Amino acid sequence: MTIQPEHQLLATENLPAEIQNAAAGFGISLATSVTGWHLVWTGEALVLRSTELAKQGDILVDFASGAATYRRKFGGGKSEAIAKAVGLSKKAGLTVIDATAGLGRDALVLASLGAQVTLVERNPSVALLLWDGLRRARLDPEVCDWLPPRMLLVFQSAAEALQTLPAPDVVYLDPMFPAREKSAAVKKEMRAFHDVVGSDPDADPLLALALNLAQKRVVVKRPGYAEFLAGQKPSMSIEGKNNRFDVYVKAALD
């Protein structure tokens, strides 16, 4: 598979000026022809699409889609493993830095449970998808009243963010882990996402930075088969359906 090293948005006649300006702000160039992965304006949303994987379908950030709404309403709420790991099952309104935000799905769960979440993303194309998801969320009556005020997007590397942002209650890390290609649990979309953003070989040093910044705890999401981040044993681990949440406790949740 050939992946464009540049981050490109396909120039179309109906491309709004607002979207063009946002793309420029994330360092994404306009292109009249593209190959491999690129961004496309559908008329309603920005999507990530591949010219070589037509059957893959579009990848987008949608905070009010059917799947997102279902998980928010019926996914288990504060009894979810991620909620227990972060501490939202004990205390509402925690401030959380999601230092590896990706498509924002975990951040959505945390925000829906009352957390104030700062989403940090270093990949320009993914950051623009997050920006567009938040833009559409502000227009959606299902989530506009509560979701945008609880989410702040920061376009920066995790390492930089963890050295410059104000200290939160919790730092949440979900570094990209090499996919096991033969595993049925790895969805096609996530395999494609691996192709676009790659793995995070620099993930181990993030744990020390996170522990230095977080006031209450650091939570690291890992595949069940993966070793501890930086080889450091957590205070406890909470098993999810397909993943494990390693919790490094610094102080009690007041």
Cα–Cα distance for residue pair 169/62, rounded to 1 Å: 26
Q: Could you tell me if residue 254 is inside a domain? A: no
Amino acid at 210: A
Q: Note down the domain range covering 121.
A: 66-249
Mean pLDDT of the chain: 87
- What's residue 2's pLDDT? 37
Residues 55-96 pLDDT 10s:
667 889 999 876 666 566 655 578 899 999 999 989 989 999
Kindly report the pTM of this predicted structure: 0.90
Structure confidence by residue, pLDDT tens digits, 138-166: 999 989 999 999 999 999 999 999 999 99
Flag whether pLDDT at 179 surpasses 80: no
Are 16 and 136 in the same domain? no
Together in a domain, 206 and 154: yes
CB atoms within 10 A of CB 105: 15
Would you tell me how many other CB atoms lie within 10 Å of the CB of residue 33? 9
